[in-house]
Amino acid sequence: MITIPIISLSINESLKKFINKLLSKNQYDNKSKLIRDALLRLMSTMDTTTIDSDSEILDISKKIVGNLIIVIPNDYNIQKKINKIETVFNEHIVSKNQHFHQNGLTIFMVFEGYLEDFHKLVVEINSINEITNFRYLIIN
């Protein structure tokens, strides 16, 4: 079982209001998801060569295998958004299965490629507001 460390941070009132506004407009399910998404976006645009090599930052040039589980409503327009993202990352998606159920569609994907590209894929998928649930796991 993977444990996710919990951290606390201090922010000013303006940032707090911004976060709460995004949550109230259903942009994100919770504060943790919002912060994780923001950090992933930052990591995907950051030049990690300037970071001290002794740091614990993940090497985004590392090859990995990742699993993604995406739950969406059974809606053609949402499926179209997922398919558009999938087309961009098609060289890295080595397997995809879909399971239709009463409440929508569950998509299972296996990704092989660089961690940097996996981060970009996660950020793109997270940008779809209609997603019911989204989980991902880096295997190695």
- Report pLDDT for 113: 94
CA distance 5 to 109: 25
Residue 77 lies in a domain: yes
Closest CA to 107 of 137, 82, 126: 82
Structure tokens at 125: 């998928």
Mean pLDDT of 104-119: 93
Domain boundaries, position 41: 13-48+59-138
Residue 91 lies in a domain: yes
Asked whether residue 111 carries a pLDDT value surpassing 90, the answer given is yes
Residue 7 lies in a domain: no
Listing DSSP states for 2-47 in one string gives PPPPP------HHHHHHHHHHHHTTS-SSHHHHHHHHHHHHHHHS-
Asked whether residue 87 carries a pLDDT value surpassing 80, the answer given is yes
Residue 28 lies in a domain: yes
Total-model pTM? 0.62
Residue 8 lies in a domain: no
Confidence of residue 54 (pLDDT cuts 50, 70, 90): low
* Whole-number average pLDDT of the chain: 83
- CATH code, domain with 100: 3.30.70.1150
CA distance 29 to 129: 10
CA distance 16 to 24: 12
Residue 4 lies in a domain: no
